[in-house]
């Protein structure tokens, strides 16, 4: 039997084992519309039962020796590596990933597990000074039950980067994957940790609709919500969490800028720009959505980027050697095309692409863009690269910052000039001489403004902060004397 044999998970969800359920949803291949199987859908009642069981199982899991929790995380990393080909196949067919992106995502999943295996034995407190004759300590304790709500675009990684550290630090987890990628973003994670020896009841995988999403936020046992997705949905989750006095870590959208400085190598800059805008069809929160090019290079850069775009084939990544696979569904495909056509109607010019091809969209370059056009103002979540020029660093900084989002910025060219510009930019991440898409398990990840709440994923400090609570402890040699 393979890791993802459908006999195990078909028409089921994972909660103290694989459970039959009353409703199901087809697993659809976006490139062809073919049915790949069916996943079971949980209900709000299922979430309530799972949350109660998770709270019970969490106490024993938190009391487990740190070395044992670390061993589960290491085994999970080994299993991701051992089953990489099978998992990649699902990412290609269910999420529309090209093979290179799928392979990259699985490698990051391996790294995430190995990185998090160090968390159980990481220092989780400090010794404080005190005016009293006592020891004063601050220690981190597991938050309890954590809900993880993950998106469709990097379904495996963006769920795992919260699931793995939360488990490593002694929490139980309710995972709600996007229903469109419930296998690669849900079943895979459940099966990996099941095989890695995670005790029953500690992890629950609960696909479902909005009512399930609401339930995993509002369940009384849940103390922390980790959400990755759109800004509008994130705002709603943040509002609910605030009313319930729960912590919500919100990693939301982005409309990320790539700045090409005067004197930059145009060929290399265009290559970086193409990768940033077209990787995974632009369906990444870090996608390069705005290209700001110094006026001395604008024409040459636009021409070079358009040539790159025109050479990128679009199609079915499971059956063809393509650079761009399908957009996740028809609704999003039409939204992408609508933004392009509205921008063209407002005066932009299509330098490359601008066409629907089957279930995909051609890599697109828009020139003659102004900062008030839809293609510049909106997060497109598709393979569209609008390009404008700038004349001074002050102008470039103003244009970059004139955006509701603040997730990732790339600056290409002279390092000294780039450093001066970086100091003027509001962004969670800045990459000098790299494009905007980048992630590593040991690096803090997150944005500012409408890109999130400022919380971070990745790295020991960020993960401990995200998934634990602080407890003050004092110890005296004898019972203190009091004046009552």
* Residues carrying an active site annotation: 251, 285
What is the rounded CA–CA span in Å between residue 386 and residue 370? Answer: 9
Q: Is 385 within 8 Å of 288 (Cβ atoms)?
A: yes
Print burial letters for 114-135: b (CB count within 10 Å at least 16), e (below 16).
Answer: bbbbebbebebbeeeeeeeeee
Whole-angstrom CA distances from 135 to 123, 143, 478, 483 are 18, 24, 12, 21
Among the listed residues 242, 304, 237, 231, the one whose alpha carbon sits nearest the alpha carbon of residue 269: 304
DSSP state of 436: S
Q: Which of 293, 435, 315 is nearest to 363 (CA)?
A: 315
The tokens for 143 are 């938050």
Q: Sort strands 247-251 and 222-228 into parallel, antiparallel or unpaired.
A: parallel
Q: What share of the chain is helix, strand, coil (3-state, %, to 5)?
A: 40, 25, 35
Question: Which of 432, 429, 431 shows the shortest CA–CA distance to 416?
Answer: 432
Which residue in this structure is represented by tokens 């100091």? 423
Please name which of 157, 204, 150 lies closest in space to residue 438, comparing C-alpha atoms: 157
Partners of 126 in beta bridges: 138
461: closest CA among 48, 47, 111, 122?
A: 122
Distances (CA, A) of 444 to 54, 430, 452: 28, 12, 13
φ, ψ dihedrals at 368, nearest 5°: 65, 30
CA–CA dist 397, 423 (Å, integer): 9
In this structure, are residues 228 and 158 in contact, taking their beta carbons and an 8 Å threshold?
yes
Which residues on adjacent β-strands are paired with residue 225? 147, 248
Task: Report which secondary-structure segment, H or E, holds 222.
Answer: strand 222-228
Q: Rounded to an integer, what distance in angstroms lies between the CA atom of residue 8 and that of residue 43? A: 20
């Amino acid at each position: 039997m393979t890791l993802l044999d459908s006999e195990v998970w078909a028409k089921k969800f994972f909660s103290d084992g694989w459970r039959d359920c009353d409703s199901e949803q087809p697993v659809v291949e976006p490139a062809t519309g073919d049915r790949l199987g069916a996943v079971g859908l949980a209900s709000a009642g299922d979430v309530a039962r799972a949350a109660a069981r998770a709270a019970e199982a969490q106490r024993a899991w938190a009391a487990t020796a740190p070395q044992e929790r670390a061993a589960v995380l290491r085994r999970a990393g080994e299993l991701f590596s051992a089953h990489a080909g099978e998992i990649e196949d699902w990412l290609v067919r269910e999420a529309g990933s090209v093979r290179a992106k799928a392979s990259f995502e699985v490698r990051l999943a391996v790294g995430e597990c190995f990185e998090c295996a160090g968390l159980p034995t990481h220092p989780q407190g400090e010794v404080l000074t005190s005016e009293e004759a006592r020891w004063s300590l601050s220690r981190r304790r597991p938050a309890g039950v954590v809900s993880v709500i993950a998106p469709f675009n990097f379904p495996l990684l963006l769920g795992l980067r919260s699931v793995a550290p939360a488990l490593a630090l002694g929490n139980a987890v309710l995972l709600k994957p996007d229903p469109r990628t419930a296998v690669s973003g849900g079943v895979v994670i459940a099966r990996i940790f099941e095989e890695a020896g995670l005790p029953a009841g500690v992890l629950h995988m609960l696909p479902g609709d909005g009512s399930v999403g609401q339930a995993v936020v509002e369940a009384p046992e849940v103390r922390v919500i980790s959400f990755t997705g759109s800004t509008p949905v994130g705002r709603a989750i943040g509002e609910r969490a605030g009313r319930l006095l729960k912590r919500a870590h919100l990693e939301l959208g982005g409309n990320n800028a790539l700045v090409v400085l005067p004197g930059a190598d145009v060929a290399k800059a265009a290559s970086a720009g193409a990768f940033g805008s077209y990787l995974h069809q632009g369906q990444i929160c870090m996608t390069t959505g705005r290209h700001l090019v110094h006026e001395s290079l604008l024409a040459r850069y636009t021409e070079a980027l358009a040539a790159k775009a025109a050479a990128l084939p679009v199609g079915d990544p499971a059956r063809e050697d393509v650079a761009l696979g399908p957009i996740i569904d028809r609704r999003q495909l039409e939204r992408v095309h609508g933004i392009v056509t509205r921008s063209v109607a407002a005066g932009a010019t299509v330098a490359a692409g601008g066409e629907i091809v089957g279930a995909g969209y051609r890599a697109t370059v828009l020139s003659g863009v102004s900062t008030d056009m839809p293609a510049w103002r909106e997060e497109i979540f598709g393979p569209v690269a609008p390009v404008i020029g700038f004349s001074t660093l002050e102008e470039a900084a103003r244009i970059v910052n004139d955006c509701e989002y603040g997730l990732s910025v790339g600056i290409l060219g002279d390092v000294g000039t780039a450093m001066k510009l970086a100091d003027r930019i509001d962004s969670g991440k800045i990459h000098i001489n790299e494009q905007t898409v980048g992630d590593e398990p040991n690096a803090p990840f997150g944005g500012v403004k409408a890109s999130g709440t400022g919380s971070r994923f990745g790295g020991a400090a960020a993960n401990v902060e995200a998934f634990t609570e602080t407890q003050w402890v004092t110890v005296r040699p004898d019972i203190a004397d009091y004046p009552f």
